[in-house]
């Protein structure tokens, strides 16, 4: 999320977030929240996770 422009933008990141969401545990997210200093980026990640979840729900 911090280097989204270098990764091809949000359109390229969203599928990766979807794949990671399936493999990530609650403990992984808690570790990230406690150890990462860029809170704005964490908020963006939270937004993307919620969007991926919403899109997945609408497709099913």
pLDDT digit string (tens) for 4-54? 556 667 677 777 777 887 788 878 878 877 877 888 888 887 887 788 788
Is the entire prediction scored with pTM above 0.95?
no
What ranges do the domains of the chain cover?
10-59
Closest CA to 44 of 57, 36, 28: 36
Both tokens assigned to 28: 């992984």
CB-based contacts of 14: which residues, under 8 Å, 6+ apart? 48, 51, 52
């Amino acid at each position: 999320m911090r280097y989204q422009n270098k990764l091809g933008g949000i359109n390229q990141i969203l599928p990766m977030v979807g794949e990671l969401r399936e493999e990530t545990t609650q403990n992984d997210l808690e570790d990230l929240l406690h150890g990462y200093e860029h809170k704005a980026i964490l908020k963006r990640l939270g937004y993307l996770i919620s969007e991926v979840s919403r899109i997945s729900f609408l497709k099913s």
